[in-house]
C-alpha cells in the first residue's frame, strides 16, 4: 500500500514509526497510508526551514515573485491530477474540486504581486536633515495547520504569501486527505523554490504540539473547528507566537417575504449541500420571515431537492459526494435524529441514501428540516454535513437577533429586493462576512477572509492584505547624517 510521507528540505521522507489509513470515502476502503510524524521529524522540518531562512529573506522580492508565477502555471498544468487526488481522498465531485483549486490559484496570483504589497512608507525631512521610513520584514519560520475539507485551497491561503514575503514555512495538513497537499508542495520545488523554504509534515497532535511549542516557529495560522482553534491560539500565544486561528461556523440566511423565492431556493441548494456541507461557509440555517414565506420556501426547497444526486467524485453529474469518514457520517445522522427527537419536522430525509455500486461509502443525502428552534442542539452546533434547517421568525429584527446571539459569526446572507433592509442588515449584523443575495460571501483573494466572535481567534484575517501584515513585522528607521564639522550641543528634552 502506498505511504504518503513528508517533504523536508526538498526530499520526500517516510517516517514509518506510526501509520494511519487514508480512505476513499465513496467506497469506504483504505487506499493508502499516511506517515504520522514524530516530534523529531517535525523538528527536522523546522531546522530545515530555519537554515533556509537567511538566504531566502535576502532573495530579491522580484525573484520570489517569479517563483510564484511559475508555481501558478504548474498548478494550472496539473489541475486534473490535483482534482483527482482531492476526489479520491476527500470525496468532492470533480467540478467542486476544480472550484476549490481555482480559489487557491487566485491567492497564488495575489502573491505574485508581492513586490507592490511590500512597499514601505517614506517621509523626507521629518526634521532638519532627518528622513524616516518603514519597511516590512519577514518573521522567519512560520507554520500552517490546515483542515481536511479544502486540502488544496486552505494551504494556498497561507504559504504562497508567507513565502513571497520572505519567510520559510512548515505545513501540517490534514492526515485524512494528504496526497494533493503534498503533490502541490512538490510543484513549488519544480517552480524553483530552494530546498527547505517549504516543508510538509503529515501528522496528528504530536506534530501540532511540536509546532506550537518550538521557539523557532514565529507564527502559526490555523483553520479548523472552534475547540481546536481556541487550543491552537491559547497555546501559540503562551509560547510567544503570533497566531490566527479560524474556527467553526453556523451560517444563517435570512429569507425575506419580498425575496425572489426561486432564486433564493437555487442559491440555498448549492450553499447548503455543495461539498456535502463540509464548508465553514456552508449555509446551514435558513431563517424565513413570516409563515407565508416559510411555507413557500419549504415547499419549493422540497421540490427542488428531488433531483439532487449524491455519489462518487468520478461522476460529474453528481451534485455532491460522501462525507469524510464513517465516524463523521454517524455524527451528521445523529444531529438529524436529534432534531427529530426535539420535535422538528424532517421534510427531506437523507439518512439512508442508496448509491448503487458504493454501498459502503460514507454518504449522507441532502436533508431538509423544518420547524427548528434555537433551543435545539442541531441548531446550536455546527453539523458540517448536507443538512439545511429552517427556522421561522416573525420579523427581520427577530431573525437578526438569532444570528447576533449565536456564538459563531463567520458568514451570513439576506435574500431580499429591499435595499433599505439589505443596508440595515449589513450595518447591524454581527458577522464577519456578509452576503446580499450572495449565499457564500467568500471574499476574493485581494480582500481578507475571517469571521467574528468564536469563528476567529486573532486580530488579522486570512489571505489578502491581512496576510501581508500577518507574515511580516514593521520596522521604522529614522536617519540623520549631521553636517561634517558641526558639533551639536546636548539636549535632554524629548525630541519633536
pLDDT in tens, 199-235: 999 999 999 999 999 999 999 999 999 999 999 999 9
pLDDT band (50, 70, 90) for residue 483: confident
Instruction: Say whether pLDDT at 16 is over 80.
Output: no
Label residue 81 left, alpha or beta by phi (over 0 means left) and psi (-120 to 50 means alpha). alpha
* Per-residue model confidence as pLDDT tens digits over 108-141: 999 999 999 999 899 999 988 899 999 999 999 9
In our burial notation (b when 16+ CB lie closer than 10 A, e otherwise), range 350-367 reads: bbebebeebeebbbbbbb
Q: Is the pLDDT of residue 488 over 80?
A: no
Q: What is the CA radius of gyration of the chain?
A: 25
317, pLDDT greater than 80: yes
Of the pLDDT bands very low, low, confident and very high (cuts 50, 70, 90), residue 38 is very high
- What pLDDT is stored for residue 122 in this prediction? 94
What is the set of active-site residues? 280
Residue 207, SS3 per DSSP = helix
* CA distance linking residue 6 with residue 450, whole number of Å: 29
Which residues fall within 8 angstroms of residue 306, CB to CB, at 6 or more apart?
Answer: none
pLDDT given for residue 489 in this prediction: 77
251-436: which CATH number, 3.40.190.10, 3.20.20.370, 3.90.1150.10, 3.40.309.10?
3.40.309.10
What is the structure's pLDDT at 394?
97
| Helix or strand (DSSP H, E) at 40 | helix 39-57
Which residues are bridge partners to 474 per DSSP? 136
Helix and strand numbers, DSSP H then E, in the chain: 16, 23
Q: Which three cell numbers stand for residue 144?
A: 500552517
Average pLDDT over residues 33-58: 97
Residues paired with 110 in a beta bridge: none
CB of 181 closer than 8 Å to CB of 171: yes
Would you kindly state where each structural domain of the chain is located, as residue ranges?
2-247+454-459+469-477, 251-436
- What's the rounded Cα separation, in Å, for the pair 336 and 160? 39
CATH number of 2-247+454-459+469-477: 3.40.605.10
| Crossing angle of helices 94-111 and 61-77, rounded to 10° | 170
Question: C-alpha grid cell for residue 217?
Answer: 516557529
Neighbouring CB atoms inside 10 A of 299's CB total 13
- The percentage of the chain sitting over the pLDDT mark of 70, rounded to a whole number, equals 100
pLDDT at 128: 85
Instruction: List pLDDT tens digits, range 3-14.
Output: 999 999 999 998
- Measured in degrees and rounded to the nearest 5, phi and psi for residue 322 equal -75, 170
**Phi, psi of 168, rounded to the nearest 5 degrees:** -110, 160
**pLDDT reading at 15 higher than 80:** no
Residue 118: φ, ψ to 5° = -95, 5
pLDDT tens-place string over residues 362-384: 999 999 999 999 999 999 999 99
8 A C-beta contact, residue 297 and residue 288: yes
**Residue 486 scores a pLDDT above 90:** no
Region 59-84: mean pLDDT is: 98
Amino acid at each position: 500500500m502506498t505511504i504518503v510521507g513528508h517533504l523536508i528540505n526538498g526530499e520526500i521522507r517516510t517516517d514509518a514509526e506510526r501509520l494511519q489509513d487514508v480512505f476513499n470515502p465513496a467506497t469506504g476502503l483504505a487506499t493508502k497510508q499516511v506517515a504520522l510524524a514524530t516530534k523529531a521529524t517535525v523538528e527536522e522540518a523546522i531546522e530545515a526551514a530555519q537554515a533556509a531562512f537567511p538566504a531566502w529573506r535576502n532573495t530579491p522580492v522580484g525573484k520570489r515573485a517569479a517563483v510564484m508565477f511559475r508555481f501558478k502555471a504548474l498548478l494550472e498544468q496539473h489541475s486534473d491530477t490535483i482534482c483527482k487526488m482531492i476526489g479520491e481522498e476527500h470525496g468532492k465531485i470533480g467540478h467542486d474540486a476544480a472550484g476549490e483549486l481555482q480559489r487557491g490559484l487566485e491567492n497564488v496570483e495575489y502573491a505574485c504581486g508581492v513586490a507592490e504589497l511590500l512597499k514601505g512608507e517614506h517621509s523626507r525631512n521629518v526634521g532638519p536633515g532627518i528622513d524616516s521610513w518603514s519597511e516590512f520584514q519577514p518573521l522567519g519560520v512560520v507554520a500552517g495547520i490546515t483542515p481536511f475539507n479544502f486540502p488544496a485551497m486552505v494551504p494556498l491561503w497561507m504559504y504562497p504569501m508567507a513565502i513571497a514575503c520572505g519567510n520559510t514555512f512548515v505545513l501540517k495538513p490534514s492526515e485524512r486527505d494528504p496526497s494533493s497537499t503534498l503533490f502541490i508542495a512538490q510543484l513549488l520545488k519544480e517552480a524553483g523554490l530552494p530546498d527547505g523554504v517549504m516543508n510538509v509534515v503529515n501528522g496528528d497532535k504530536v506534530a501540532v504540539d511540536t509546532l506550537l511549542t518550538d521557539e523557532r516557529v514565529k507564527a502559526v495560522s490555523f483553520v479548523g473547528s472552534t475547540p481546536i482553534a481556541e487550543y491552537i491560539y491559547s497555546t501559540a500565544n503562551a509560547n510567544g507566537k503570533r497566531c490566527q486561528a479560524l474556527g467553526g461556523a453556523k451560517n444563517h440566511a435570512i429569507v425575506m417575504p419580498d425575496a425572489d423565492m426561486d432564486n433564493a431556493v437555487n442559491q440555498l441548494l448549492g450553499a447548503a449541500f455543495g461539498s456535502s456541507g463540509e464548508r465553514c461557509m456552508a449555509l446551514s440555517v435558513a431563517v424565513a420571515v413570516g409563515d407565508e414565506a416559510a411555507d413557500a420556501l419549504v415547499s419549493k426547497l422540497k421540490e427542488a431537492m428531488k433531483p439532487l444526486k449524491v455519489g462518487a467524485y468520478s461522476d460529474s453529474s453528481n451534485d455532491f459526494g460522501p462525507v469524510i469518514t464513517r465516524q463523521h457520517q454517524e455524527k451528521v445522522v445523529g444531529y438529524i435524529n436529534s432534531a427529530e427527537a426535539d420535535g422538528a419536522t424532517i421534510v427531506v430525509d437523507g439518512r439512508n441514501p442508496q448509491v448503487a455500486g458504493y454501498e459502503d461509502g460514507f454518504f449522507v443525502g441532502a436533508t431538509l428540516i423544518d420547524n427548528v428552534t434555537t433551543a435545539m442542539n442541531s441548531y446550536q452546533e455546527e453539523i458540517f454535513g448536507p443538512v439545511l434547517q429552517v427556522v421561522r421568525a416573525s420579523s427581520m429584527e427577530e431573525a437578526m437577533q438569532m444570528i447576533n446571539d449565536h456564538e459563531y459569526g463567520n458568514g451570513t446572507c439576506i435574500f431580499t429586493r429591499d435595499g433599505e433592509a439589505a443596508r440595515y442588515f449589513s450595518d447591524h449584523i454581527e458577522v464577519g462576512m456578509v452576503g446580499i443575495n450572495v449565499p457564500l460571501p467568500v471574499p476574493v483573494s485581494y480582500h481578507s477572509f475571517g469571521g467574528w466572535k468564536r469563528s476567529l481567534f486573532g486580530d488579522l484575517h486570512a489571505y489578502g492584505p491581512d496576510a501581508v501584515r500577518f507574515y511580516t513585522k514593521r520596522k521604522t528607521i529614522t536617519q540623520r547624517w549631521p553636517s561634517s564639522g558641526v558639533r551639536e550641543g546636548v539636549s535632554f528634552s524629548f525630541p519633536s
